[in-house]
Structure 1
Amino acid sequence: MNTKSPHIILEGSKEYKLGELKGNEIVYDFNEILTYLNAKGKLLFGTGFKIVIEDRDVLFKLCNYFIKDEANCKKLDIDIHKGILLTGPVGCGKTSLMKLLRHIVPHQKAYKLIPSRNIVFGFNHVGYKTIEDYGSTNYFCFDDLGVEPIGRHYGKDCNVMGEILLSRYELFLEQKVKTHATSNLNAQELEERYGNRVRSRMRELFNLIAFDSESYDKRK
């Protein structure tokens, strides 16, 4: 990361300018960000990756959130202090975008992207310490939230991700620690999965950004 020029990102020998530095503030250019994301996506996911025009609205919201453009976020009804819950059909690109977008703001605290099912497998192995571990002040993005199995440790069932979300909610209230997530489920399905209490906390934890339900599977 170039601390003197945080608006310029170096990938190998190529520079990507995401905007202009005016005083201590970066004035970002959305089209320049898309150019960089397209290039970085190819480096991370292979040459078949591309930003598609159908995703432009979702990307505009996500980019404004990550660069903390308060004026645009206010217009888009996005709270920059909350996390992101990115929802949409299987294969529409949720995980890839959450892996990718953190690279446009290398000067911000990074989050770890963890598959929810892996967290449950960890719980099955070591028990409630897993829930404590994810109740830390680290930033996380829980991938594929809502389709993980129920946890089971020493014969006792536990809705592991539901418990973790409650812990993350407390952290958000006390220390403004952010949590992100991706999910194939809609709000009603998430409520059925986790219950009304967790769902109401999720409304306070997350900004909901959704792909169109007709978004196609980009993995095909």
Structure 2
Amino acid sequence: MVNPSKITEGDIEYSIGRFNGFEMFYDFPKILVYLEAKGKLLFGKHFKIFDEDKDIIYKLSNYFIQDKDKCEKAGLDPEKGILFSGPVGCGKTSLMKLLKFIVPLQRPYSVVPCRNIVFAFNHLGYKIIEDYGNGSFFCFDDLGVEPMGRHYGQDCNVMGEILLSRYELFLKSKLKTHTTTNLNAEELEERYGSRVRSRMREMFNLIAFDESARDKRK
């Protein structure tokens, strides 16, 4: 039987809680130890978990482990995806790349920069919207700062179209989409229009860093 409380990285085994054979009991301080170790493996030795980010990580962890009681207290719906917002450099992308590793038995998502999707659209056209508006599991990174798409002289708000397609999948099959953004709600509406913005309210839980969160890349 697979024990979800133990995660092995190289030759080191990390415990993130206790598994009694039927139910998993997570231990948040142990999750933090594992995330910092995994972060160093993924991003380099300079990576660290900052004390001021622990509340956000706690909220995200409860969402990913699907702790319904703690999600309810935090105003999170486990059936929806995550819209993770905050200033440039505060660590949104790194955390979204990291958190999926605490639930190795769950279906993983791919983190894809929105600008890369638009560049692919410019080259390949509407097939790209179909590719990302399908049943795969994605986290769209840096939503709202990608350029407008242009294929054979036709402009297209590529990510807006993809979000509309993902909304249909969310309604039909509860397929989750995650995204990170530096923009606030008004800026997102200005970028994608009120129709997409209202769909985003239905699809996403908003988790936000404080506007004063520091740039960890400096």
Residues 31-79 of structure 1: CA deviation (Å, up to 9, x unaligned): 1100100110011101100000100111011000000000000000100
What pairs with 1:43-192 in structure 2 (closer than 5 Å)?
Answer: 43-192=41-190
What SS does the corresponding residue of 2:4 show, helix, strand or coil? Answer: coil
How many aligned positions are there? 218
- Paired with 1:194 and 1:5, the residues of 2 have a C-alpha distance of 43
The alignment yields a C-alpha RMSD, in angstroms, of: 0.7
Deviation at 1:23, TM superposition (A): 3.6
Identity %: 67
- Normalising by structure 2, report the TM-score: 0.99
Moved over 3 A (4+): none
What SS does the corresponding residue of 1:91 show, helix, strand or coil? Answer: coil
- Paired with 1:160 and 1:24, the residues of 2 have a C-alpha distance of 44
- Paired with 1:148 and 1:32, the residues of 2 have a C-alpha distance of 37
1:196 to 194, 199, 209: 194
- Paired with 1:97 and 1:132, the residues of 2 have a C-alpha distance of 27
Deviation at 1:12, TM superposition (A): 1.1
- Normalising by structure 1, report the TM-score: 0.98
Residues 73-128 of structure 1: CA deviation (Å, up to 9, x unaligned): 00001000110011000000000000111110010000011000000001101111
- Paired with 1:41 and 1:21, the residues of 2 have a C-alpha distance of 24
- Paired with 1:91 and 1:20, the residues of 2 have a C-alpha distance of 34
- 2:23 equivalent to 1:33: no
Unaligned runs of 5+ in 2: none
